[in-house]
Structure 1
Amino acid sequence: MDGSCIRCYDSPLGRLIITADDIGITEVCFGDGDDVPETDSNPHIDDAIGWLDTYFDGSEPENTVSLHMIGTDFQMSVWDELLKIPYGHTMTYGEIAERIAKMRGIEHMSAQAVGNAIGRNPVAVIVPCHRVIGKDGSMTGYAGGIDRKVGLLRIEGILSE
């Protein structure tokens, strides 16, 4: 992608690879061991690094980060719902499905479809897919691994050591 910038960020849970373009952050993913050619930074990456510094210090970031996420209308609606989950709280896949069904004026939405869209979230940590849990409270699916999901929930005080 033209104009994209890539930087690595060493978090307590492993290396994050941050990609941005002129519009905003396009991807944040865990990439331990990946050989990533870093490029010059841009203001969006600088903002994301500040956000991550605050987050990994155990505080709720007050600043916002410009995002440039590309997905289907359904994926975008799921990712928008993720951004509404407050720091230090969780939701279930079913609760998100209910919200989207209500928003779309339909009776039912598949929690599995929501899970599939969450699994395609390109901006880990900042778009908090780690805050979504199974209806029985189980730690289900996380692209960065369940250990990292648990680590992120501990940082937010949702889970204790």
Structure 2
Amino acid sequence: MKHRVIGSPVGPLTLVVDDRGVLCGLYTDGHKHFPDAAALGVRDDTIAEDAVTQLGEYFAGDRTRFDLDLAPRGTEFQHEVWRALSTIPAGETRTYGQVAAGLGRPGSSRAVGAATGRNPISIVVPCHRLVGSTGSLTGYAGGIERKRWLLDHEAAGSAGR
């Protein structure tokens, strides 16, 4: 494992790659499930160039989808949820219940929420696009302020499309 820290409009981001150089983590500063130092591996500010470039394009408003090889670690259910999150277009939101129903598991919105909270590749796997059943901003491992910023950023970009 290796990691790199980059600046962003939402604060420092820590990108983690596995031994193959594939992105397996992207964490905000103060992230609820931030890995310990041993899990990050050594710091190497030359890794994950594609991710750094695409994140820069995203924050500049020039990219709405990421095209990166990803290797998140989790259970099969978590992977199902993370794949579903990746289909939510920028500038749109879904509720936890809608994602659960889309997975053929109506009534499992809490499990979807738990899997979303464990998403190790925030922003790229857009867990910030999930909202409560009333449209309220609920839970985000990177903090509600970041979630609001990301949603506002995407909404501003989608207005011009």
Which of structure 1's runs of 4+ aligned residues deviate more than 3 A? 34-37
Q: 1:52 aligns with which of 27, 44, 55?
A: 55
Quote the Cα distance in structure 2 between the aligned partners of 1:87 and 1:59.
12
Tell me the residue number matched to 2:16.
Answer: 19
List gaps (5 residues or longer) in structure 2. Answer: none
* Percent of residue pairs bearing the same amino acid type: 39
Residues of 2 paired with 1:158 and 1:58: CA distance? 9
Q: Structure 2 matches for 1:12-161, cutoff 5 A? A: 12-21=9-18, 22=20, 24-31=22-29, 38-42=43-47, 45-61=48-64, 64-101=67-104, 108-157=106-155
RMSD (CA atoms): 2.2
8 Å Cα contact 1:97/1:109 also seen in 2: yes
The answer (yes or no) to whether the contact 1:121–1:127 under 8 Å persists in 2 is yes
- TM-score by structure 2 length? 0.84
Distance 1:56 1:93 in 2: 25
Structure 1 residue runs without a partner (length 5+): none
8 A contact 2:23–2:71 mirrored in 1: yes
Give the C-alpha shift of residue 70 in structure 1.
Answer: 1.3
Aligned length: 148
- Structure 2 CA distance for aligned equivalents of residues 8 and 48 of structure 1: 12
